[in-house]
Structure 1
Amino acid sequence: MDEHTRRTLDSLFSPRGIAVVGSMKEGKIAGQVIVQLVEGDFPGRIWAVNPKSEAPPKYPEIPARSSLSEIPDELDTAVICSPAATVASVLEDAGRRSVSSAVILTSGFGEIGHLEEERRLRQIAETRGIRLIGPNCAGIMSSGARLYASIEVRALPGSVAFLSQSGAVGGAVLAMAEERGIGFSKFVSFGNRTDLGEVELLDYFLEDPETEAAALYLESVQEGRPFIEAARRFAARKPLILIKAGRSEAGSRAAGSHTGSLAGSDEVFQVVVRETGAIRANDLEEMLDLCQGVSSLPPVKGRRLLLVTNSGGPGILTTDAAEKSGLQIVPPREQQQARLREFLPPHASVSNPVDLTVEGSAEDFRRSLELLLRSDAYDCAVAINVGTPFIDSQVLARGIAEAAESTGKPVAAVFMAGRIVEEGLKLFHEKNIPAFPTGERAVRVLAAMAARQEFLRRPTPTRSQKLRTLGSGPSPAPLQPPVLMSTGMDLLRHYGLPLPNYRFVPAGEKASDHIDHLSYPLAMKVVSPGLAHKSEVGGVALNIENPEELDHSFQRMAERLGAGSFAGVLIHEMIPQGLELILGLKHDPSFG
């Protein structure tokens, strides 16, 4: 990221002054944004801008002007909530005022087919040197700067940056996160992504000291290759959680109507996730679980899981989910089991799960976790408490928290359920111990974090990295359909893939004149545009032993297909019998 863009984004997330453009009447978006800024204790100057120079009724002391150019103070950012027809002129005004960034909440552009109007916004911004978020977005937040330029629930402070293509999803996640006590360092709803999108924002958050991880909700990827590189850069240093809508055919159509962009193939996106080292969430609940895990737990360095529970049923369910997620449930060593029996209740199970029974105390939880986690037998643990009214959940939580702190290993808590465990959950929040509603959800987080560490330890480059190193010299010219088999073979050879020796013989020539340096036996395959299955039309001849047989096969194929369909043949040496693998190519609208 260039220094100018970085400085612009610094001022976007920590502006000295901010102007909100739009109607300040009760219930209008612009007025609500100012309410959020004031009640979020924004330290900079706030201005209201609208034709009547009105301030919001709730805060009439906010200074108001009829245009951005009338504001005398330092002004870094404009939040535009005025009608779609006015946004272009407001941007022009922002340019004259030397505003460096604008957040456009207004909808009514590319998402409803008004692409030309959206392109005009981009042109004005480029001409005036303004960087844009939106349009059709829900705003931005920076908890460290006390900036809440949005109509959504104010984010709690945290260490995860949350980016959302959908404003509604962004707002829902913020509300869900607030209920669970999960905070965010930054929030960006980028909407139609006319200018700034996930690529530049990921690069910015990679260097942001307030951000330790990022979560990204996408409905489409606009710049596939740059996104892969940005995701790879980010995931190599900080956890990256991705959730993408439009996985089904119907969902893909719905995503296109929402933000006016193509969703692309989910199979391709899954490969991108795997090859960049990101973590994919299947739904919003799992995304928040992962946010809680990566922001609270130390790295999960292996898959060996310890379960300590005071109830058998939830322990069994968690064991099933753990194994399904790829975690390993191994029993303690005999010596460890003997030591557990010294202090646990008589009916306790000292296998894995370690079942303390309902008699299990805070000291039992602490000592069991410390004994086993301090050995090299386990990498992480889940502690499960099924609460009863006569047991103080806070006392149990303290024992688990002490074990997590003393061992330094990842410990996730599961306290079930309702008001009888509220005090215990409060203590976990204070101690930054992640607590999940069920053991199944806890182990999915631990498994994802373990997989991330395995990716980071991979000694060899990914397949996509290897492919970029193949070949030398200038790239071949772009392929134009129809792509003949001979052209495809030439392309594969250019990129260094091992191929049998081959020759292309065009129609009208003699096959035996083209086989210098080829050794019998040979294979001949017809080259014909639009022909998918060569063998069905007699377009394959194998184990050709001499020139006469070669020319005869060539002539026979030419006669069968006719002059209009026969482009020639590909002749190559026969190779030893082995695994036959058929590969196909697909053009994805996002990744190419």
Structure 2
Amino acid sequence: LTFFEQDDNTHIIAQHCEDLKDGRAFAEVAKRVSKKKPVVMLKAGRTSMGARAASSHTGALAGNDKIYEDVLKQSGVIRARSLRDLLEFARAIPVLPTPKGENVIIITGAGGSGVLLSDACVDNGLTLMAMPSDLDAAFRKFIPPFGAAGNPVDITGGEPPKTYQNTIRLGLEDPRIHALVLGYWHTIVTPPMVFAKLAVEVVDEMKAKGIVKPVVVSLAGDVEVEEAAEYLFDHGIPAYPYSTEMPVLVLGAKYRWARAAGVMPKASANQSPSP
């Protein structure tokens, strides 16, 4: 930790751990380091069977997983629950801008996706913004009458690229919104790469105006969504095919780090603190 704390080329530290020989020393260093750059840990042996395997493997002490959970949380360390989580956190967290507040909006092309993304937001301690009436009316200007504003914003599946473009732009422009979760479902009207390129264009357009917010994307469809997800990630937007959980998981991890590191503004009248 102390070595990579000083390394300017290291933007996030990801660790696999079976036990801590000196938990107090680790907590002191991790608390300091995590305020400068995110620290992620995959703690193996969290179950009794896993702890027994760790003991036979490396002689690691079993320990109480609740104690590890508390130590990591108090130290500002992001805990990964699986190897994939560890790798995805290491890949996505440095890419995501630090959020400036707690208000998250979901914009989706399918109602079912919006429900799943909402569940994922709650599971990851994210605050779905209560939609103000003026913002609700602004979104409704861009979606069909049978769509749904509120939060999630459901633009429905048959909409052309312009609808995605307008709603994403509005989500980025409004200062009360602090992060966007986009749910794309494959349609002929707006194919995956068309969606990916327009999303990048709008994010870059806003960035040129000094507006930078975390944006993550869930894509569902045939194999074309894999290319679209890769294109989005290559352009600084973490995106995942065939998953409504992973994009929200990495966004939640970014939020956990930002809160613990004290780099987010305190909640204002326009936002509610996350649980």
Normalising to structure 2: TM-score of the pair?
A: 0.86
Q: State the AA in 2 paired with 1:417.
A: G
Structure 2 counterpart of 1:255: 54
Structure 2 counterpart of 1:450: 255
Q: State the AA in 1 paired with 2:197.
A: R
For residues 368-383 of structure 1, the aligned pairs below 5 Å read 368-383=167-182
Structure 2 counterpart of 1:318: 117
Structure 1 counterpart of 2:228: 424
Alignment partner of 1:230 is 2:29 = yes
Alignment partner of 1:283 is 2:82 = yes
Q: State the AA in 1 paired with 2:56.
A: S
Q: State the AA in 2 paired with 1:280.
A: R
CA distance in 2 between counterparts of 1:430 and 1:448 reads 20
Contact 1:384–1:415 (Cα < 8 Å) also in 2: yes
1:331, distance to aligned residue in structure 2 (A): 4.2
CA distance in 1 between counterparts of 2:45 and 2:52 reads 7
1:389, distance to aligned residue in structure 2 (A): 5.1
Q: State the AA in 2 paired with 1:423.
A: E
3-state SS of paired residue (1:439)? coil
CA distance in 1 between counterparts of 2:77 and 2:105 reads 25
CA separation of 1:316 and 1:276: change in aligned 2, threshold 3 A = same
Alignment partner of 1:334 is 2:133 = yes
For residues 522-537 of structure 1, the aligned pairs below 5 Å read none
Alignment partner of 1:435 is 2:234 = no
Q: State the AA in 1 paired with 2:27.
A: I
CA distance in 2 between counterparts of 1:255 and 1:370 reads 49
CA distance in 1 between counterparts of 2:121 and 2:103 reads 10
For residues 12-31 of structure 1, the aligned pairs below 5 Å read none
Contact 2:121–2:248 (Cα < 8 Å) also in 1: yes
Structure 1 counterpart of 2:158: 359
Measured against aligned partners, the alpha-carbon deviations of 1:476-532 in whole angstroms (never above 9, x if no partner) come to xxxxxxxxxxxxxxxxxxxxxxxxxxxxxxxxxxxxxxxxxxxxxxxxxxxxxxxxx
Q: Spell out structure 1 runs of 4+ moving beyond 6 A.
A: none
Measured against aligned partners, the alpha-carbon deviations of 1:406-452 in whole angstroms (never above 9, x if no partner) come to 13100001111341313312321320211124222222222232222
Unaligned runs of 5+ in 1: 1-201, 459-592
Q: State the AA in 2 paired with 1:379.
A: H
Unaligned runs of 5+ in 2: 264-275
CA distance in 1 between counterparts of 2:127 and 2:80 reads 21
3-state SS of paired residue (1:384)? strand
3-state SS of paired residue (2:138)? helix
3-state SS of paired residue (2:25)? helix
Alignment partner of 1:402 is 2:198 = no
Contact 2:101–2:178 (Cα < 8 Å) also in 1: yes
3-state SS of paired residue (1:424)? helix
Normalising to structure 1: TM-score of the pair?
A: 0.41
Paired residue total: 257
Contact 2:161–2:189 (Cα < 8 Å) also in 1: no
Contact 2:35–2:260 (Cα < 8 Å) also in 1: no
CA distance in 2 between counterparts of 1:402 and 1:408 reads 13
RMSD: 2.0
CA separation of 1:226 and 1:357: change in aligned 2, threshold 3 A = same
CA distance in 1 between counterparts of 2:34 and 2:150 reads 36
1:278, distance to aligned residue in structure 2 (A): 0.8
CA distance in 1 between counterparts of 2:227 and 2:253 reads 29
Q: State the AA in 1 paired with 2:225.
A: V
CA separation of 1:363 and 1:331: change in aligned 2, threshold 3 A = farther
1:322, distance to aligned residue in structure 2 (A): 1.2
CA distance in 2 between counterparts of 1:390 and 1:379 reads 29
CA distance in 1 between counterparts of 2:44 and 2:191 reads 42
Measured against aligned partners, the alpha-carbon deviations of 1:226-251 in whole angstroms (never above 9, x if no partner) come to 22222122211000111111111221
CA distance in 2 between counterparts of 1:318 and 1:253 reads 36
CA distance in 1 between counterparts of 2:50 and 2:142 reads 55
Q: Which moved more, 1:387-396 or 1:273-282?
A: 387-396
3-state SS of paired residue (1:296)? coil
CA separation of 1:384 and 1:448: change in aligned 2, threshold 3 A = same
CA separation of 1:324 and 1:346: change in aligned 2, threshold 3 A = same
CA distance in 1 between counterparts of 2:128 and 2:236 reads 25
Counterpart of 2:7 (choices 208, 212, 217) is: 208
1:256, distance to aligned residue in structure 2 (A): 1.3
Larger radius of gyration: 1
Q: Identity, % of aligned pairs?
A: 32
For residues 461-472 of structure 1, the aligned pairs below 5 Å read none
CA separation of 1:429 and 1:352: change in aligned 2, threshold 3 A = same
CA distance in 1 between counterparts of 2:122 and 2:59 reads 41
Contact 1:303–1:326 (Cα < 8 Å) also in 2: no
1:274, distance to aligned residue in structure 2 (A): 1.2
